[in-house]
Structure 1
Amino acid sequence: MNITLTVNGDDYPLDVEPRRVLADALREDCGLTGTHLGCEHGVCGACTVLVDGEAVRACLMLAVQCDGAAVRTVEGLAGPDGEPHPLQRAFSAEHALQCGFCTPGFLMIAAGALESIGDDPELVDRLVESNICRCTGYEPIRRAIMRAATDCPPASDRSPTSEGS
């Protein structure tokens, strides 16, 4: 099927099989390897991306479902000038990454929820529990998301370019 994926504001015209998952299309067809594949069953969260602003498991979503949608990957988090997103700064400051394999998934699920979670520790805990990390433990990740929630401006203060869409 001929589709166009709009990823981080760039269009990628693709010819994909109907059964091709979004994660494979992003990695192999678009060359965006920041989206990691872990379990390939939607459990670990390493493949989390935003589709029209909602966090989805890219290993479970078909690429054809994203034709015409705005997809945002970890490569699209930084601002146009390369300035790290508040989440990226917070993950670094809080030592919330070790091997880095799960980090893109945590960054993207948090990016999709920053405004709705605010600084509510219960909501942040539920968010963190939805992805798997095998290295750092979850406390530094939780602290990083809490820090970013206070540092990140509301969506109305952000330009579409800085959001990568």
Structure 2
Amino acid sequence: MESPHVPALPQEVDVRQEGDPGRQRADCLRARRRPARHTVRGGGGNRCGWLSNNAAPEPVAKGKTITITGKLERANWDTYTYAGYTQQIVHLQERSLTGSYATTSSHRTGTGSQAGVEKKTRTATTDRCYRYAFDGTSTTPPVNGTGDCVDVR
């Protein structure tokens, strides 16, 4: 019998697909609640990953400091929530408005109250887009944050 609190899902949930990221996160957690009927795929393991990022302030004056903040989370199957994934390597990537992302530096995510969080600063010179990327582990598939572009004036 279907639970009235958990909407029906397709037989297989692909956490790599493009689309509404909030829905993808919810689909992953709902799929895991009924493991006998659903398979979660996306490579690397069985814990869905999530990587958010924000580059601020927007817009920013040329020569001022931009702070790029990211948070790496993964599904916790005991609580059916996402929790910060600590001590993992994430890569800060950037690109021009029309270019491709390239890794500029790699960092380890925080612990404690800063679980899964990483912050870096850059000097604003031209319009750029920033994101964090995670290579994955044996239990969590690779994931890229959605890019956040900063308007430099």
In proportion to residue count, which structure has more helix? 1
Q: TM-score, normalised by structure 1?
A: 0.26
In proportion to residue count, which structure has more strand? 2
Q: TM-score, normalised by structure 2?
A: 0.27
